[in-house]
Structure 1
Amino acid sequence: MTEPLELVPDSERRGLIGALPAAARPFASLMRLDRPIGAWLLFWPGAWAVALAGIDRHGIALILWLGLGAFAMRSAGCVYNDIVDRDLDRQVERTRLRPLASGRVSLGGAVALLVGLSLVGLVVLLQLRPLAQLVALASLILVAIYPFMKRITWWPQLWLGLVFTWSALVGWAEATGRLSAPGLLLYAGSVVWAMGYDTIYALQDREDDALVGVKSSALALGDRARAGVALLYALAMLLWAGAIAMVRPDALALAALLPMALHLAWQAATLRQDDPGDALAKFRANRFAGLLMFLGCLVVGSAA
């Protein structure tokens, strides 16, 4: 039976998802296959940690495994989030056509997909050393709680930061065999960075969130959202500078952070907080920001 046209978003009629068989398209949409930005943001902190620790042959393979893990777990996270939020999603214009909210995917189908993606994550987990495995498993508690935080606190972006940048701890533990201060500072800076970019993302939904009673840092900050993002980005840079200084105690090493600092400063300075289109563009720019930070960590880690 053909789906009612009004229930099928444009993203399923074109591009990568549109090229898939019709029966697979809602599941690909559930995984956000057309929006890889989330997988990139999940991946980058782990890659930074491996680069800062100093890449060798094992490090290259580790980065590839972390990439696969980021894709699988981000997709699983989207499925889990949509399962939890399916009733709320029906009330928000931007999310009402999501596969579960619109009824194009059953709850059972979504759970089966979640299990399959989790098994891919398990394969990645088995490639890691015991310490890194324990660190990775510890994140599951945070992941399970995250979808509920926007009902509890005005700062669910903090929880997202804790979850979305956990790969920094996994990568550091695997690359160095321990959890030490540089890795912890890298993670802390990454958490604050994620709070900044997710505040930008939340600017798109302020009106709908207020109507349905969902909380966010964008609503909490109000007209001070741009200043809040700038402050978060500045704090992230300070924490990352601390990590760099501990790995290579040389003032010149901090210059590796300059491209990232300039990019984040541009985001904050030019953010139009009342323009959803600009907010989305600035949020997506963090994929490139992640590359800049990776190159900085690579330079420092290779010279340490």
Structure 2
Amino acid sequence: MGPVVTPPAPITPDALKSWIDRLPARAQAYLRLARLDRPAGTWLLLWPCLAGLALAGGLRSAPLLALWFALGSLAMRSAGCVWNDIVDRDLDRQVARTRARPVASGQISVKAALAFAVALSLIGLIVLLQLRPLAQIIALASLIPVAIYPFMKRITWWPQAWLGLTFNWGALVGWAAVAEPELPMLLLWAGGIAWTLGYDTIYALQDIEDDALVGIKSSARALGPRARAGVAGFYAAAIGLWAAALWLAAGQALAVIALLPAALHLGWQVLRLADISPAAAWMLFRSNRAAGALWLAACAAVGLA
């Protein structure tokens, strides 16, 4: 009988090779801390900003704001990741997917990480100053729920709902940057929260076993074997709320047809969720970059009409 061979540990998304690996080790640590090797989160933060801007007619009246929102999404998503890693450093050490993160592994000190977060936030401040006062106030109001988010997984089984509230705040800011608040703005935001509940439940499926051992709460754990049905319900709510926003903004029911590609894409995700392996969950989560682009396309079609 031959020697017992231990299979290699599965490669997790946080350990995947990227362009960052060609850089000096110190630079790698900071860029990984900012998640610049994993841009999916930046896209997911940007799409709501652009959707709000587009549906309010801003792509025609203030197209340069789209570039400012792109810069702001990159900087503030990175700052949020840094803050999250500082707060979660002890939990991250206990989860296979996250134990190699720079703060958890000791590559970057908490003090240095905080300084980095401040520097990134200053970039966000530059973007904030490009907005009109109402949008500035709404954007600043997001800082409190963003700061609280990392603690929610210790408090509630539904931290994904809080993430949705914060990650889609840009829909409010994007709209308010060019127009006065109206019901379609709130419906866009609410639909975004439902969308995030869906895609972040998929994301949480990657860690469901480790989370149970460590005591981290998530919608994936709360739903258990009903996770697929839950995601389907969240996505259906997102499409329904977005459809209502487009209908009211356009003043005609036919506007909801613009959401058909996004609805089909989200439906495809639910069908593929029959496989809930970590690799499949990661792939489906990342596909929401495309779902967000289709949502934006629908809002742009109505806003430019």
Q: Distance in 2 between matches of 1:218 and 1:10?
A: 18
Q: Distance in 2 between matches of 1:106 and 1:16?
A: 24
CA, structure 1 residues 301+149, in 2 after alignment: closer, same or farther (shift >3 Å)? same
Q: Distance in 2 between matches of 1:179 and 1:255?
A: 24
* TM superposition score normalised by structure 1: 0.94
Which of 44, 48, 52 matches 1:49?
52
Match of 2:202 in 1: 200
CA, structure 1 residues 230+12, in 2 after alignment: closer, same or farther (shift >3 Å)? closer
Report the alpha carbon displacement of residue 133 of structure 1 after superposing the two structures with TM.
Answer: 0.4
- Matched residue of 2:138: which SS? helix
Match of 2:240 in 1: 238
How many residue pairs get aligned? The number is 294
- Matched residue of 2:233: which SS? helix
Report the alpha carbon displacement of residue 20 of structure 1 after superposing the two structures with TM.
Answer: 2.1
- Matched residue of 1:102: which SS? coil
Report the alpha carbon displacement of residue 56 of structure 1 after superposing the two structures with TM.
Answer: 4.5
Match of 2:255 in 1: 253
Report the alpha carbon displacement of residue 10 of structure 1 after superposing the two structures with TM.
Answer: 9.5
Q: How does 1:160-175 map to 2 (within 5 A)?
A: 160-175=163-178
Q: How does 1:101-140 map to 2 (within 5 A)?
A: 101-140=104-143
Is contact 1:90-1:101 (8 Å) kept? yes
Is contact 2:82-2:117 (8 Å) kept? yes
Which of 69, 73, 83 matches 2:72?
69
- State percent identity of aligned pairs: 61
Q: Distance in 2 between matches of 1:191 and 1:130?
A: 25
Which of 263, 269, 272 matches 1:270?
272
Which of 82, 87, 92 matches 1:89?
92
Is contact 1:203-1:273 (8 Å) kept? no
Report the alpha carbon displacement of residue 302 of structure 1 after superposing the two structures with TM.
Answer: 1.0
Is contact 2:172-2:185 (8 Å) kept? yes
Q: Which runs of 5+ in 1 are unaligned?
A: 1-8
Is contact 2:44-2:288 (8 Å) kept? yes
Q: Distance in 2 between matches of 1:12 and 1:276?
A: 14
- Matched residue of 1:99: which SS? coil
CA, structure 1 residues 54+110, in 2 after alignment: closer, same or farther (shift >3 Å)? same
Deviation sequence 1:70-120 (CA, Å, 0-9, x none): 000000000000000001111111111000111111111101100100100
Q: One-letter code of the match for 2:88?
A: D
Q: How does 1:280-291 map to 2 (within 5 A)?
A: 280-291=282-293
Deviation sequence 1:197-249 (CA, Å, 0-9, x none): 00000000000000000000000000000000000000111111110011112
CA, structure 1 residues 257+56, in 2 after alignment: closer, same or farther (shift >3 Å)? closer
CA, structure 1 residues 124+279, in 2 after alignment: closer, same or farther (shift >3 Å)? same
- Matched residue of 1:175: which SS? coil
Q: One-letter code of the match for 2:204?
A: A
Of the structure 1 ranges 75-84 and 18-27, higher mean CA displacement relative to structure 2 is found in 18-27
Match of 1:40 in 2: 43
Match of 2:3 in 1: none
Report the alpha carbon displacement of residue 123 of structure 1 after superposing the two structures with TM.
Answer: 0.4
Match of 1:4 in 2: none
